[in-house]
């Protein structure tokens, strides 16, 4: 029963965020006179399982529920109709493409604003980085990875981190940098365990799974940050920018790890990993779930901006090339070919990440 609830919650979250993203494309396209032929939820890897036509648009559901799309007239560049996507100026086409990303970013921002209005722990920065934040924080080791440098050193779940390499630990977000700066170097970890001050030595890995890591999952233990209505939107903006920055860094690290090591970093999750996280987060309350949904929404926004053919970022790249060519469009068949290859690579990437989700 618990597994079923987790799956349903995961599908509802992903489904809602995909619909928000695609609605952005749909709404801006319609506002600019572009005919939308299909508004779909799910990847079209198999025949649609449901559809209905309202006006000039077919609304569909496909059986692979981890994506969606809006199919516009002339999106493939072949239609000459004035209402086709291809017939619109580059600026209009760019607005349509960016609209999905903007909707995901706006959704996340509004969720984070609501979180700070009610009281929420920040995710991407230390509490001390936020204006008027009054807090007292202990950084607790929530988990120690098996066969990790931390495990071999004697660090345990429940230990309170005080220092790493002589530098004071103020929040969990500082730990990855403090360990990566000391990759391959024996490093003193100052901790408090059952009221006693101890110093243990661990060597963050210099290669492999634990490269630049000790193998610990740190968590902050401070009271929620809560702001009045006139201040919460600004705090949410700080958090949004910080999460976007961290997401770009994580995606860069993902591709670097795949290309250099043929593996997926431990901090990156695919559909299976996110589904598993969803199950744990459901037990932690509405505020943690809200923050989780905001992070997923921003991750979708950032990922879609990557200049890979078939993603919004890839289509924006072709528009940018068109502008550099002084308005001369790339032949439709050439662009279609690149998007087809990009889509295949994207599916391959999802399957690759999912494989590592499963073996974990």
Point out the residues that are catalytic.
22
| Residues 115/236, Cβ–Cβ less than 8 Å | yes
Q: What is the DSSP letter of 89?
A: -
Tokens of 85: 């996507």
Tokens of 134: 């009054």
Q: What number of other Cβ atoms are within 10 A of residue 314's Cβ?
A: 21
Cite the beta strand spans of the chain per DSSP E: 36-43, 50-54, 57-61, 64-72, 138-144, 160-164, 167-168, 187-193, 196-202, 216-221
Tokens of 309: 């053919």
Tokens of 181: 């700066």
Query: What whole-number distance in Å separates Cα of residue 221 and Cα of residue 140?
Result: 7
Burial 272-292 (b: 16+ CB within 10 A, else e): bbbbebbeebbeeeeebbbbb
Dihedral over alpha carbons 230, 235, 237, 238 (to 10 degrees): 150
Quick one: 131 exposed, middle or buried, by C-beta within 10 A (0-12, 13-18, 19+)?
A: exposed
Q: What is the DSSP letter of 230?
A: T
Cα–chain-centroid distance for residue 283? Answer: 21
Query: What whole-number distance in Å separates Cα of residue 264 and Cα of residue 249?
Result: 14
Nearest residue to 309 (alpha-carbon basis) of 285, 330, 278, 279? 330
Query: What whole-number distance in Å separates Cα of residue 345 and Cα of residue 309?
Result: 9
163: CB partners within 8 A, 6+ apart: 169, 188, 189, 190
Nearest residue to 151 (alpha-carbon basis) of 203, 211, 220? 203
């Amino acid at each position: 029963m618990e597994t079923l609830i987790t799956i349903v919650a995961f599908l509802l979250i992903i489904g809602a965020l995909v619909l928000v993203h695609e609605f952005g494309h749909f709404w801006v396209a319609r506002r600019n006179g572009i005919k939308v032929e299909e508004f779909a939820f799910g990847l079209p890897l198999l025949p649609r399982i449901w559809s209905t036509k309202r006006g000039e648009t077919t609304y569909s559901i496909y059986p692979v529920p981890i994506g969606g799309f809006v199919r516009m007239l002339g999106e493939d560049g072949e239609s000459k109709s004035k209402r086709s996507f291809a017939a619109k100026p580059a600026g209009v086409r760019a607005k349509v493409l960016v609209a999905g990303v903007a909707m995901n970013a706006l959704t996340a921002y509004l969720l984070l604003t609501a979180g700070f209005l009610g009281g929420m722990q920040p995710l991407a920065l230390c509490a001390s980085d936020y204006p008027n934040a009054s807090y007292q924080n202990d950084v607790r080791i929530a988990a120690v990875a098996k066969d990790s440098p931390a495990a071999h050193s004697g660090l345990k779940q429940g230990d309170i981190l005080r220092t790493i390499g002589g530098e004071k630990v103020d929040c969990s977000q500082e730990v990855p940098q403090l360990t990566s700066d000391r990759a391959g170097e024996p490093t003193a970890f100052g901790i408090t365990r059952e009221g006693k001050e101890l110093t243990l030595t661990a060597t963050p890995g210099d290669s492999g799974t634990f490269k630049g890591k000790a193998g610990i999952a740190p968590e902050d233990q401070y009271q929620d940050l809560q702001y009045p209505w006139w201040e919460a939107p600004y705090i949410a903006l700080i958090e949004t920018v910080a999460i976007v920055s961290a997401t770009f860094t994580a995606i860069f690290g993902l591709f670097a790890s795949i290309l250099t090591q043929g593996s997926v970093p431990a901090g990156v999750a695919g559909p299976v990993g996110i589904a598993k996280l969803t199950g744990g987060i459901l037990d932690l309350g509405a505020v943690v779930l809200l923050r989780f949904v905001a992070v997923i929404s921003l991750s979708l926004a950032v990922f879609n901006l990557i200049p890979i053919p078939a993603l919004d970022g890839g289509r924006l790249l072709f528009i940018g090339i068109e502008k550099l060519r002084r308005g001369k469009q790339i032949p439709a068949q050439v662009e279609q070919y690149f998007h087809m290859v990009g889509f295949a690579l994207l599916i391959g990437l999802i399957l690759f990440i999912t494989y590592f989700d499963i073996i974990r």
